[in-house]
Structures are given as C-alpha cells and as structure tokens.
A and B are shown apart, each in its own frame.
Chain A
Amino acid sequence: MTISKIFILIIFAFSAIWGQNMTAIEIMERNDAQTDSRDSMGEFTMKLINKKGKVRSRTVIQYSQTDDNGLEKSIIKFTAPANVRGVGLLTVEEMDQDNQWLYLPATKRVRRISSNQKSDNFMGSDFTYEDIERNDLDDYTYNLFGEQIINSIDCYIIESRATSEKILNETEYGFTKMWISKDHFLQIQVNFYNKKNELIKVMRNSEISKLANTDKWRAHHIIMENIKSGHQTELIFKEMQINQGVEESYFTQRYLEKG
C-alpha cells in the first residue's frame, strides 16, 4: 500500500471512532442545530386529556421568527372550536423580558398580558414555558449515560442539569433525561424530574419526518404526560414548515386583530 492510502485509511478509522464516540455536548449541539430555524409555521391540534380520559380539543396556527440576536417572535391563533376562533396570542421576546398581547374576538380589543414565569403552563396545557423555549446550551451541563433503542429508534441517553443560577431559581426541574435519536438528533423521549428527583412529566415524540424544502426533521406527534396529576396534552401537527419565510407583519398587534 502507498503511504497516502494508509493515511486515508487511518483518517477513516479515526473518524469512524470519532463518530461512534460523540460526547454529550456534541450530541446536544447536533440537536440544537437540528431544532434551529429562522422561522416556522405550524398548524396543529392540541388535545387536553384529563385522567378520566375526557378531552378538550383546540386547533391552532402558529408562526414564529427568530432574529440574528436569537430573539424570537411568535403568534398563535385559534381556529377551532368555533367559540374561540380568532383568539390570538402574540409574543415578542426582548433582551430582558417577554411582551405578550392577547386578542379575544368577542371583546374586539387587544390587551397586553404580563410576563409569565418559566414554570407557568402554556395555554393551560401540560407544557410549561420552559418546556417550549429553546435552551441555551451554556446554561446546562450534559452527561452521556449510554444508549437505548426505544420505539425502534436507536438513541443516546443524555442527562441534563441546569447550571445557571437564574434558571435554577425559576425551574421546577432538578434534571431531565433525554433520549436523542442517533439518526436525526431529535428528542424521542424526555423524562422530567423535580428537585426531589421524582419523575413528574414524560414527553414522547413520534411521527418524525423531513420537512418540505429543507433538510430538517421534526416530530409531528408530541405527547406530554403529567405523571402526578394523570393529565396529558397531545399535539398533532397537520402541517409544519420551516424557513419558508414569514411576513414581519404577522407579528403585530394589527395582525393579531385582523389577520
């Protein structure tokens, strides 16, 4: 063999080993990259299910946009059931706080509402604001615990703990355990534990597919189960798009009212 061929072989070997021995932070970085987007649009049904199996169902369209500073704007409009059609919530993130406006069509007025705590529930669901917002990797430490196949998907198991003081004060979680798929670096399941190390919530993602005109993958079916109360929330995406461009005008109070 020529020396160059040996070299190439060695490099291949190295990268193979490298590929197999990803560190926790690397995995999280891949996850971060996968879930990142400049803008997004989603049309989904949110089902709230109580422990007796009773269901409240709402359909929603959501748009969001992230600017170069990482600040996000999003708008959610309810399309069903009929009584709440047109209700809208606009959120504009600023450096130190969130601004939110609410529109109830029956009042014909837009109102500001005060900022939420991380541990507050988002729209009466089992998701808290903390669950929905993207995490800054710097605020957490990650540990790789191993691998496991769940729902026929091969995953890394990563444990995440908050390190930032601010987050530690506001969060109700002690740590989370995430199963991240090896193929697309998406969270397949997340277990949430409180500060007493008790399991309090479980999130399961499924129906993973590639989105049109991008190379990004997303789960189209998300279930968040609250273990203590027995309540759960199901998100079923009818439509999801990323990076197809969203009009700036969508994120205004005017659009909240009229659009």
Chain B
Amino acid sequence: MSKLEIRDSYDSDLPANDAIVKTNDLLEEIFGEKDILMIAVISENIFAPSTLQKIQLISEEILQIDGVIQDQVTSLSTLTTIEGNDWGLEVGDLMEDIPASNEEISELIAKVKSNPLFYGKLVSEDFNASLILANMERSVDNQVVYNEVYRILEKYSGPEKFYPNGPAVMSAEVDNGIEADVSTLMPIAILFIMIGFFLSFGKMRGVFLPFTVAVTSIVWAMGFAGHAGFGLTVVSNAVPMVMIAIASSYGIHLMHRYFDDVKTMDRISAVKSTIMNMGPPIILTGLTSAAGSATLAVFKVTSLREFGIITSIGILSALVITLVIPPAILVLLRKPKEISNGFGEGLEKIWDTFLSVINTISTRKVKWVKLVTLLIVIISFVGITKVKFGSDYVSMFPGDHRIHEIFDAYNDNLGGSRYFNIMISGIEQDDITEPDLLKSIANFQEYAESLPDVGYTDSFADIIRRINVVMNNGDIAYDRIPDSQELISQYLLLYSMSGDPGDFEDIVDYDYQRAKIRVMIQTSDQERHLELLASLTSWGKENFPANVTIEYGGSVMIWLALIQYIVVGQVQNVILALLIVFLFCAFVFKSLSAGLLSIVPLTISSLITFGLMGYMGIRLEMGTAIVTAIAVGVGVDFSIHFISRYKDEYQISNDLTTAGSVTMSTAGKAIIFDMISNILGFSVLLFSGFTPIQNFGWLVSLTMITSGFGSLILLPPLITTLKPKFIMQSPNGKNDTSDIFIQNLLKNDGVVDAA
C-alpha cells in the first residue's frame, strides 16, 4: 500500500495510442514541456500604483519558488516592448518604475492600450484584471508550488483579489481532495458499519469480526493496487466504501448464521455448520459481484479499468477472508451470552408487515404491476435520451469549492483559463514564414475570437503583425501580415536580436515549420467546448491552404476525448455485466429462464437509473460510469436469493401462492436487510469532496433500492405467469451438485431464518 501514489491528471487515463494523447505528446515535444502558473489579479483599477507594486513584488517572489524558470515570469512589471517612432526602434521595459504621477500612469495606460500583444490579454480591456504568468519545469512538486503560491499571495491580500491557476494548482486541488476523502470517508464508513452491525447483532463479536473482514480485504485490495502500479485517483477513493458495503454483507450473513446455530450447538459444530451452509451462497454472491466489477475492465479509460480490477480483487479477498478468519477466531472464543434484542424484535415486526404488503401487490395486483412497470420503462427511455456525457475539470468539485470562484474570475474578467492548443504544421522548414499561411492563421484567430465564449487567442502571427506596426512608426494600418516572406524572416531576425534564443519556443518550432495557436475559452461547459471545437474544425478545413495539417490538443481535448471512451465503455460494460450475470445464474440453476429471470429486475433498475440521470442532468462521466457494474454485481444477489428460495418452497408446498408468500417473508427480509447494509456503506460516499463520487454514492444506493424492490415485486408475477420449468419440475432424486448447492443456498437464506 505504501507504493500507492496519487495520480491526479487525466492525461494518463486515455490509452497511449489515442489520437489526442499523441497530439498532446507531439505538442509537448515540439513546443516544450513547460507548465504555466497563472495568477489573476482582480482589482477596481489595475493601474493604481499600489496594485502595480504588488504585481511587481509578487512577480519577484514567484521567481524564488522551486521550479519556476528564471527570466520567464511575465507580468506588467516584467514586460519588454519594442516601440517604433520617428527616432527609430526602442526596446525597453514597459514599466521602468512604478508610475508615481497621474501623468506617468496615463502614459503607461496608453502604452498598454496601443499594444494588442497584451491589451485584452495580459491586461483586461476594462483594466479590472491582469495576469502574472510563470513558466515552470515539468518536474515541480505541485503541492510545494501550491503552498508557496498561496503563502505569497496571503502576504499581499488587500482590496485586490488574487486567484492562482494552472496545471500545478489544479492538480494540487485534486490531490488535496483525494487526501481529504481518504481521511474523512474511511472513519465515517467504519462508524456507519459498526453501528449497523451492532444493531443487527447486539454483540461485540458481531461488530468486530465483520469489521475485520472489511478492513483486511481493503488492505489486500489497495496493497495489490500499489504493487500493480495503479494510482490513487478520484475514482479509486470509492473502492474502500464499496468494499465496506460488500464485505459487510458477507460478514452479516456469516455472523447471523453463527448466532443462530450457536444457540443449539456447541461452538465448534456451530462454526462448522456456519461454514458449510454459508460457504456456497457467499461464494456465489461474491463471484457475481466480483465479475460485475471486473466488467469495468472493458473501459479503455485507465482509472475506471483499474477501479474495476481493484474492486474485484477486493471482493474476492473479502470472500476468502470471510470464510477463513472469523470462523477461526470464533472457534477460539467462548459461546456468546444471550442478549435479547428488544429493539431488533420490534423492528422485525415492522418489516414483516411491510413485506406482506409487497406480497399482496406482487401477487394480486399483477395488472397494476405490469402497467406501472411499463410506464416506468418508457419514462426511463425518454430520460436516457437526455443523458449528457463527459464533464469538465471544474464540475468534479462541489458548488461551494473555491475552484469555482477561481474559474469564474478568469472567465468573467480575463480570457478564461481553459484553452485549445492548436498546432499548425507546414511541410518544410520555414513554411510558417509564408505570408499565406500566416494570414490564414491570423484569420483563424479572428474567426475564433468572434465566437461566443472565446476569450482571446495567441499566436506567432500576432508577433509579426506587431512588428509590422512598430516598423512603420506605430501606424496601425500595418496591423496585418506583410506580403513578403523575406520581410517576415527579417522581422524575425530583428526580434531575435532583442530577445533570448529561447524566445518563441512556446509558439513556433525551431525550423519555423510548425506554429501553435492558443485559443482561450471562457466557459467550463463541456457542451460549449464541443460546439466550439466543431466550429473551429470546420472553419479550419475550409480556409487553410491544402497541405497544412491542423491538430487540436490541450487538456480540454483530453476531457472531450474521455467522453467518447466513457460512452463506448459504458455501453459495452452494461451489456457485458448483464450477460455475465445471465450466464452465471443460468449455469447455477441449470436453466436459461433462470438466467433471464435474474436479470429482469437488474435491467429495469439500470434503465431507471440512467433515465433519472437524464432528467436530473447528471452526466455520464468518471464517477457515474461505474454505477452499473457495481450495482449489477451486487444487485444480482437479490434475484438469486429470491429465486432459489422460491424454487425450494415450491417443492415443499407445490403451490405457487404459498411458495411466494413464504419466500417473501424469509428471503424477502434478507434482501431488505442486505439492501440496507449496502446502502449504508454507499451513502458514506455522499461525504466525498468530489461531486462525481457523491453522485456515484447515491445512484448506486438508488439502484440497490430499485433492484431490490424490483426483485420482490416483479419476480413473483413473472414466475406465476411464465411458470418456468426449473421451478415447476421436482428434482429427480439424484443429488447432483447443483441441487446440493441450491439446497445450501436456501438453507442459509438469510439473515433471518424463521418465517
């Protein structure tokens, strides 16, 4: 477990051969692997001397942070400009000193206004906001940078507001969230479960032993994850909770059987009987749950795949541990003292009443059941068509997280903090200095800036235009790309004379073959991202010269790419999960119709869940994509318990109605208790610091409820209507293994035995 490292970036979540990952890798290779640290300064008037001074001081202090590349802090206080006038060309600092007089301030403002390289970009047009940018090496420690930046900004807090942003800051926020989750969710989950166990059994060993199972299986699962090199991600944090919910079910079943047996037998026989009777059903339900999780491996998204695998391993571990450790310990302990559980008895009466109501509905009001179910299915389908896919970084955090304030500040005052990195490639060296290509780039930028939600754009073409203006004495009629390639090359030579050899390495490659356009986006709405991408792509196809390649990259693209993988994966996953469960049950009951019966409640409950997501606007993304697999794997237990008990009761009474009502009051109760314990476990996730995980928590809980009640309400009418052979036929006297298996299943049935 100590090998586990937090993995907070979604770049590595896509398969390496994905086109977008490849584009991003290429972009990094060519334009450098620097990350940007941004600090937005929001103030009534950026040009107030006191604000300017703060900007200067912060710019200087940022240089001290480990990982910030020297000479690459850009802000009002560090900018150099080339000005052209009658005298000639002057290269100098934008701001030599903090302006003191009103005159000096006006001068500075005029200089900024006349320079489109930073007016409207580094400084907002209304002078309410400015940026401080720093380039950082890739290898920085995000947490260190995050802490240092906030420490520095704390010193200068005042009427101005400061908002840090950039990949390091964003990653650190995710890291902090993951750590917070790890430290808050576990204790809460443990508390809930211990309360649950205590209420069920009223005895300490009833709490302690299942608890041991849960914790040990979590350790095994996470330990495996560490050894396998999986990362701790936003999604993987849900693993312990899932484990707790599932492992506690097994523990409950086991302990309940033990407490019953130990009333009548000596302790060793009690333990033996417990294992013999509980072993098969626990194994069966464990295998189905593990298989359900394992179907997540079909996703090409790494976090989801890993989650599925870890959970599977965890469930299998819980299986093994439940059958080994508690019995071993129980053998060593004395018989427990009898404690009458008045509370428990009272509760049981409530359940009994409740279940007989359900029984009535499912047997007598069959027509209503059919009608309502049909209605629900139709409504759900409609809901499903409304489901939106994918999400943006910001939506991971609950509404009150400060990240929203930060992004809003950038979106409202500056050009936004999200962007597309677009790489334009010519064929040969120096192609980028071709006037036609540069003009296309400039036009592309103009088009992009005309689209709503686009803040501003940056590219190599801007530099050339600026030089053209400067070289013509500041005449803005020259704010365009010149027609001569020689002139452009010479401008570049001029510019390089006042800069560093490394200048421009962010925006054009060394051979002048490829250029990068950055399009800043002012929205976190992924629908808009998709629309913008579509607009830009189609404009690009029509308006660039034929042999030019245009590729799109940047972290927004990664999020958009995830959509595709999540949707495809989800469809494959649902089908696979249902299929596996179908096959499993068909195998166990040796009947295809048994398989079908078991998946009916599951299918309908999944439909309801997706339909609800559509109506409520909950998007299908990282957190919600795992719902079905887990829900199917766990929910199938309900069907299995119900069907097998039903079959057995029918063999005893040979009457469908009696079989039904007995099943309802025994297996039915077990199902409800199981449902409740699972929901307790999953509801802990509502305390997560990440919205997708919160959504996962209550969606899975909801699915538990719908599949649980689905089993109780739908299976009786289905069985009575269809009269499937595997139930109707009596066993042929031969004791084949599956019959024994099933007999054991029904003997165990549940948390509560007595009818």
Contact = CB atoms under 8 A, between A and B. Distances in A.
Interface of A: 48, 50, 52, 54-56, 58, 78, 81-84, 87, 89, 101-102, 104-107, 111-114, 116, 120-126, 226, 228-229, 231, 233
Nearest to A85: B486
B496 A123 contact: yes
A107 B471 contact: yes
A102 B88 CA distance: 9
Contacts of B510: 50, 52, 54-56
B357 interface: no
Given A83-B486, A124-B499, A229-B502, A104 B89 contact: no
Nearest to A109: B471
A102 B89 contact: yes
B490 A112 contact: no
Interface in B49-92: 70, 84, 87-92
A81 B503 CA distance: 20
Give 10 closest A-B pairs by Cβ, nearest first.
A124-B496, A112-B88, A83-B489, A106-B487, A54-B510, A114-B90, A104-B490, A113-B89, A106-B486, A111-B88
Interface in B471-508: 471, 482, 484-487, 489-491, 493-494, 496-503, 505
B433 interface: yes
Contact of A121 (B485, B486, B499): B499
Given A84-B490, A120-B498, 11 more contacts: A83-B485, A83-B490, A87-B493, A102-B497, A104-B471, A106-B484, A114-B90, A121-B500, A124-B493, A229-B501, A231-B502
B531 interface: no
A87 to B, nearest CB: 6
B490 A124 contact: no
B511 interface: yes
B261 interface: no
B501 A124 contact: yes
A118 to B, nearest CB: 14
A111 B471 contact: yes
A37 B501 CA distance: 29
B430 interface: yes
A239 B87 CA distance: 35
A113 B90 contact: yes
Contacts of A123: 493, 496-497
27 contacts: A48-B501, A50-B501, A50-B502, A50-B510, A52-B510, A54-B510, A82-B486, A87-B493, A89-B497, A101-B88, A104-B490, A105-B486, A106-B482, A106-B490, A107-B487, A111-B89, A111-B471, A113-B89, A113-B90, A113-B91, A113-B497, A122-B497, A123-B493, A124-B497, A124-B503, A226-B501, A231-B501
Contacts of A122: 497
Given A54-B511, A124-B496, A228-B70, A233 B501 contact: yes
Nearest to A194: B70
Contacts of B501: 48, 50, 121, 124-126, 226, 229, 231, 233
Contacts of B430: 83
Nearest to B88: A112
Nearest to A112: B88
Interface residues of B, number: 33
Contacts, number: 94
A126 B502 CA distance: 10
Contacts of B489: 81, 83-84
Contacts of B92: 114
A166 B384 CA distance: 74
Nearest to B490: A104
B87 A112 contact: yes
A23 B510 CA distance: 46
| Most interface-central of A55, A126, A229 (chain B CB within 10 A) | A229
Interface string B522-542: 000000000000000000000
Interface string B426-447: 0000100100000000000000
| Most A-side CB within 10 Å, residue of B485, B497, B511 | B497
A226 B500 CA distance: 11
A110 B261 CA distance: 104
Contacts of B490: 83-84, 87, 104-107
A116 B89 CA distance: 12
A161 to B, nearest CB: 22
Contacts of B487: 104, 106-107
Nearest to B30: A52
Nearest to B489: A83
Contacts of A58: 493
A167 to B, nearest CB: 20
B61 to A, nearest CB: 16
Nearest to A126: B501
Nearest to B487: A106
Nearest to B500: A121
A107 B505 CA distance: 26
Contacts of A82: 486
Q: B88, B92, B509 — which one has the most chain A CB atoms within 10 A of its CB?
A: B88
A56 B505 CA distance: 13
Contacts of A83: 430, 433, 485-486, 489-490
A95 to B, nearest CB: 20
Contacts of A81: 489
A78 B493 contact: yes
A95 B497 CA distance: 23
Contacts of A226: 501
A114 B509 CA distance: 28
Interface string B402-438: 0000000000000000000000000000100100000
Contacts of A107: 471, 487, 490
A208 B503 CA distance: 33
Nearest to A89: B497
Contacts of B89: 102, 111-114
Contacts of B509: 54
A95 B500 CA distance: 27
Nearest to B89: A113
A79 B251 CA distance: 85
A104 B70 CA distance: 32
Nearest to B512: A56
Contacts of A87: 490, 493-494
Given A87-B493, A107-B487, A113 B70 contact: no
A199 B717 CA distance: 84
Nearest to B495: A124
Nearest to A82: B486
Contacts of A101: 88
A105 B510 CA distance: 23
Contacts of A116: 91, 498
Contacts of B505: 50
Nearest to A122: B497
Nearest to A99: B88
A169 to B, nearest CB: 15
Interface in B356-413: none
A104 B499 contact: no
A76 to B, nearest CB: 10
A103 to B, nearest CB: 9
A107 B496 CA distance: 17
Contacts of A233: 501
A221 B511 CA distance: 24
Contacts of A48: 501
A113 B88 contact: yes
- Best-buried of A81, A104, A124 by chain B (most CB within 10 Å): A124
A87 B511 CA distance: 20
Q: Most chain-A Cβ atoms within 10 A of its Cβ — which of B90, B471, B486, B498? A: B486
A231 B89 CA distance: 27
Contacts of A52: 510
- Residue of B87, B482, B493, B498 ringed by the most chain A CB atoms within 10 A: B493
Given A83-B433, A231-B501, A104 B494 contact: yes
A233 B500 CA distance: 12
A125 to B, nearest CB: 6
Q: Pick the most buried of A84, A105, A106, A112: most chain B CB atoms within 10 A of its CB.
A: A106
Contacts of A111: 84, 88-89, 471
